[in-house]
Amino acid sequence: MSAPVVMKFGGSSVATAERLRHVAELVRAQGSPEILVVLSALGGVTDALFACGRLAATREQAASLTQLKELMERHRDVGRELFGPNLPRKVEAFIDASEKELSEILCGASLLGALPERSLDLLVGRGELLSSLLLAAYLEVPWIDARVVLRTDSHFGQARPLPDEIRSLALRELLPKIEAGGICVTQGYIGADASGAPTTLGRGGSDFSASLLGAALRAAEIQIWTDVEGVLTCDPRIVPEARPVEQLGYDEAAELAAFGAKVLHPATILPAVELDIPVTVRNSLLPDGRYTVISRSGASGRPVTALASRGPVSVLTVKSARMLGGSGFLARIFEVFGRQGVSVDLVSTSEVSVSITVEANAPLEDLARELSAFAEVRVERERAVVALVGEQLRRTAGVAGMAFGALRDLNVEMISMGANEINLSLVVRREDAPEALRRLHRAFFGPESGLNSKRGAA
């Protein structure tokens, strides 16, 4: 048996019948004898399913059912473009059954004025089942229900995968079918808990699915096919001149994903690392173009490989004269965060104060109340983290100086070097983040940048 290749296609690659046909061609042209295709929902479908759910939960039953009907019709239209007026029986039956089942959920939610998380996962995970069935039927290959393999806990909406169980289920349910058929098609984003209840891995989770299944199958490669030429030096929607990064180390890629590079779900790299499986990020619109290889030996060797940003976040600054020379102060602060169940993101300390960033939805009032019992507390909302990531960051003098020079009058409110020393994070006002990225990109990747060009940026 040769190791299979996992090919994951995102919603951007499968928005229309034409794009699906193109994906089918890419799969056929892959050349590997064994392929697992992991598919996202057709572009925009997951958002639309969430919108149906929100309408139902606010008792807008008619509007939610109309939207659902339109969505199902979109799948029938794509099917008709692929197969002609008569859809394959299995496809037609599944779309009909989905419409019925999801309508019932939406009606129930409209009556209740609420949509339980468990039902929400069933609803929003349907896009992947529909798109993958269309592709499997078009390719005439087996369609695998990922819920049979991708075992998770019952944390609906953000389920945590159970890798050991996924491995044994993949060996039992998936590998024999791939070995027999060559190509199989399954879904990203969805799984099921031990009771069989459908779960989802959180938004953008199809990348994570691909890598979990790739690890379980001991794949030769995990390919993430999207609509850009791999991981770029910055988000191209903010910095249009961003350019592809040819190679990245696992740490660099994980850091970029964690700091907001939407091209990869933050957990994508984890399953691949231990098994040393290369992850490539490729453009389905330009399959012969450039792409990124992420691997153990692939560290870029650059001081700054790429930039990313994440927000909004809030900054809590806790100040007390007692911190000066005192011990146990930080422990007391973190204990409050622990008790409130808030995960601490960036931390930066001075002699008498500590600044901590938290997600915007953290219980800021509760935290501030508890902390103000023993310290002065300042809360700043609407901030963003801008991160510079690079494998040689720690060994290169002057990166921080260059960053500050580039940002000029943009106020940096907090600065933090990641513990693994490959990221330098700056906190700025949220509205300043795009301009901060543009200025940093010009400084580190622009034609006049001395730092990266010395090392030959891609």
The residues binding ligand ADP (CB under 6 A) are: 10-13, 40, 204, 226-228, 231-232, 234-237, 261-263, 306
Detail the DSSP E strand segments found in 27-96: 35-39
Q: Is 10 in the site for Mg ion (CB under 5 A)?
A: yes
On whether the CB atoms of residues 183 and 141 are closer than 8 A, the answer is yes
Q: Is 311 in the site for Mg ion (CB under 5 A)?
A: no
Indicate which of Mg ion, ligand ASP, ligand ADP, none lies near residue 203 (CB less than 5 to 8 Å, by partner kind): ligand ASP
Q: Tell me the residue number closest to ligand ADP, measured at CB.
A: 10
Q: Tell me the residue number closest to ligand ASP, measured at CB.
A: 206
**249's tokens:** 């180390």
For 413, phi and psi rounded to 5 degrees? Answer: -95, -15
Which residue reads 């697992």 in tokens? 36
* Nearest distance in Å: CB 264, ligand ASP: 10
Question: Which of 53, 188, 198, 204 forms a contact with Mg ion (CB under 5 A)?
Answer: 204
On whether the CB atoms of residues 370 and 336 are closer than 8 A, the answer is yes
Cα dist from 396 to 390, 437, 443, 455, whole Å:
10, 20, 15, 12
Indicate which of Mg ion, ligand ASP, ligand ADP, none lies near residue 41 (CB less than 5 to 8 Å, by partner kind): ligand ASP
Give the residues lining the site for ligand ASP (CB under 6 A).
10-11, 40-41, 46, 127, 188-189, 203-206
The sheet that has 347-349: what strands, in order across it?
Answer: 347-349, 353-359, 306-319, 376-389, 423-429, 414-417
Indicate which of ligand ADP, ligand ASP, Mg ion, none lies near residue 236 (CB less than 5 to 8 Å, by partner kind): ligand ADP
**282's tokens:** 């490729």
Q: 131 or 305: whose CB is closer to ligand ASP?
A: 131
* Nearest distance in Å: CB 419, Mg ion: 27
Which residue reads 């061609």 in tokens? 25
Dihedral angle over CA of 265, 266, 271, 273, nearest 10: 120
Q: 157 or 182: whose CB is closer to ligand ASP?
A: 157
Total residues contacting Mg ion by CB under 5 A comes to 2
Indicate which of ligand ADP, ligand ASP, Mg ion, none lies near residue 188 (CB less than 5 to 8 Å, by partner kind): ligand ASP
Bridge partner residues of 225 (DSSP): 9, 282
**329's tokens:** 């102060």
Strand 353-359 to 347-349 pairing: antiparallel
Indicate which of ligand ADP, Mg ion, ligand ASP, none lies near residue 306 (CB less than 5 to 8 Å, by partner kind): ligand ADP
* Nearest distance in Å: CB 262, ligand ASP: 10
Binding site for Mg ion (CB under 5 A): 10, 204
